[in-house]
A and B are shown apart, each in its own frame.
Chain A
């Protein structure tokens, strides 16, 4: 199950600090630092298209991380996550357009405002569980979406709102190459924050609520507080992700924050691994790259002998959408514990190689 680690027999810890360390070995710590350093080089190596995909993985990865707090760590359900993502996007655009606040500050501010909204919509979680909660969060999705369409003072109504490009102290960042570092910085900070959150007293409380709410309550954990808090935290990261998204595109339209996007966020964390921080990023990468690779496939298929034989033509576009759905189903059947689990298995395999059974 999620959160499970493969620790060989005889490897025991003698202090709390050792038990809660982020990196179990020096190698894993160095590998992570090397990984981040390598990612820093990316804008100078990869082309603009790959760069835009990396940025998207970063942005959606932050929002998906928020959802993993609610679903993966606290065991609640939310199918309105995209609405919070959108709220963050509109808030950041609104703050910078209306009040002239530098975008640098708008992004975290948007996170805070969205967190407040998330707390309000998280209130039903104090009383509802399971499917009932799912429907309550679905309501949040529709209420916010309708708000986007109608609150012209805030979102510009049905006309897309414009968002300023990212700037720090008068210096404006233009182009994906520079923006990549902004997103990377946020990814590193957000993932560190959540990793640390889970190690903390509050994080353990969230996990306790997930594992058995009654036991958690008996141990003195305030269920109402932690359930609502998890929604607030989720909305915070959704808001930050949404704000990054707004300033990346420099346009915010009220499309793209619908239930379909919420489901994609859920798919990201389910595929990555519920309750796994690294898995969130893996799942996001999977869900961003899947439609793109299907697009490459459909381009390759166009006017090919198979296309001509079957007379597919414009139907390829629909086949692509169906293939994406099919792959997700197949993936869930064969990989129910997510990519994070598979990754651990691969690591364990090589650790014991060639003596693994």
Chain B
């Protein structure tokens, strides 16, 4: 780079900065990510999706001409650090809204968010965050919490509905056995009660839960327990990293069980890492298509992806797409707020209620339609189930593996759950 180009870019940046400042005060958003903690395996692509989206929004003129100051903070999945960060965001560095991450920290913040009127669209889909008034009676009111996609509980209800049909379709007799697996942590625990309740209703025999940590490790003991328990369907409540360890250990132990993955429990990276052990895992997908699929919104997504991958060759896992969708929903809510009285937390919250079957601009055909109301923050109850197919060795780069079909996500079924009032909040 020559001095001249340097100078010209600098002056251009100055010029752009000053015009933006003249046009509109920037909108501050907080972005909580886990790039270094136990859920960093899925936190990294999701966080990248969010960061890229706002970089792209700023590049294409911001929100109503106002630049977005996205304050991305890696809190390492530690609740105390999230709370310390929140204190900054609700105090000195006031933000209009937060794009949050984990279940433990989001649930810990719920009360503060309501008190300070700061909306938080989290990457935690714990059902407890979907009851804005507490009317469901199962959770405390969470008026300022949102998330994009089916809740963990609803996703598990969908998977178990499918599992019951699968059991019959395979012509097996007797009661199928279901087991919940995951760390003793708010995130894997979130759908436990809901899953076990519907499993009982659907005629499963519910086995005692099996605990394994959120971090990768040796889980042979858990797999031996699983084997001896004779479980037929096992829910993996953790994120991909530790699930890979379980899948590998269980393959080695010769466990014959249908694994049901949490929405964060399986993705293309995990399939590559686990190889044949990941073959056959059924899991929900939050977006209508995966990377490289055919949809009108794919053009926007490709543009967004180029913000951190100028060459445009990177393969983006499912969590990246979900991250972009989440960021786009927040963007439109903020946009509505900015037009209707200013981008304050209260207005951004109202922004979420404006559209029915809402698909944010740029996410057409990718982000599933969502509807939020003042009494119900379950955006969607549609659960798209996919099965991970892994064929052969998975040593090649991810984009090649997907291209030549080494890793494939096969649609299993779409379960449309009823919007039951007594399922609200758990």
Contact = CB atoms under 8 A, between A and B. Distances in A.
Interface stretch (B183-191, B379-387, B400-408): B183-191
A48 interface: yes
B35 interface: yes
Majority-rule SS of A interface residues: mixed
Contact of A160 (B88, B107, B184, B189): B107
A48 B74 contact: no
Given A253-B80, A321-B36, A176 B107 contact: no
Nearest to B88: A49
B258 interface: no
Given A48-B91, A249-B80, A317 B74 contact: yes
Contact of A256 (B79, B107, B109): B79
A157 B183 CA distance: 12
Contacts of A48: 87-88, 91-92
A304 B330 CA distance: 29
A256 B184 CA distance: 15
A21 interface: no
B224 interface: no
B87 A52 contact: yes
Contacts of B91: 48, 176
B286 to A, nearest CB: 23
A314 interface: yes
A5 interface: no
B36 A318 contact: yes
B24 interface: no
A251 B108 contact: yes
B44 A314 contact: yes
A52 B112 CA distance: 17
A149 interface: yes
B35 A314 contact: yes
A255 B78 contact: yes
Contacts of A149: 184
Interface in A126-153: 149-150
Given A48-B91, A158-B189, A160-B108, A251 B184 contact: no
Contacts of B78: 255-256
A235 B186 CA distance: 28
B92 A160 contact: no
Interface in B145-170: none
| Chain A interface size range | 20 to 34
B186 A160 contact: yes
B104 A255 contact: yes
A263 B78 CA distance: 17
B273 interface: no
A275 to B, nearest CB: 29
A159 interface: yes
A314 B34 CA distance: 11
A47 interface: yes
B36 A253 contact: no
Nearest to A146: B184
A317 B74 CA distance: 8
B111 interface: yes
A167 interface: no
Contact of A251 (B44, B74, B83): B83
B84 interface: yes
Interface in B73-117: 74, 76, 78-80, 83-84, 87-88, 91-92, 104-105, 107-109, 111-112
Contacts of A256: 78-80
Contacts of A318: 36
Nearest to A162: B111
Interface of B: 35-36, 44, 74, 76, 78-80, 83-84, 87-88, 91-92, 104-105, 107-109, 111-112, 184-186, 189
Interface of A: 47-49, 52, 149-150, 157-160, 162, 176, 249-251, 253, 255-256, 314, 317-318, 321
Given A49-B92, A159-B186, 8 more contacts: A48-B92, A158-B104, A158-B185, A160-B186, A250-B111, A256-B78, A317-B35, A321-B36
24 contacts: A48-B91, A49-B92, A52-B87, A52-B88, A150-B184, A157-B189, A158-B184, A159-B189, A160-B79, A160-B104, A160-B107, A160-B108, A160-B186, A249-B83, A250-B112, A251-B109, A253-B79, A253-B80, A255-B78, A255-B79, A255-B80, A255-B104, A317-B35, A317-B74
**Among all A-B residue pairs, the 7 with the closest Cβ atoms:** A253-B79, A160-B108, A251-B108, A256-B80, A48-B92, A48-B91, A317-B36
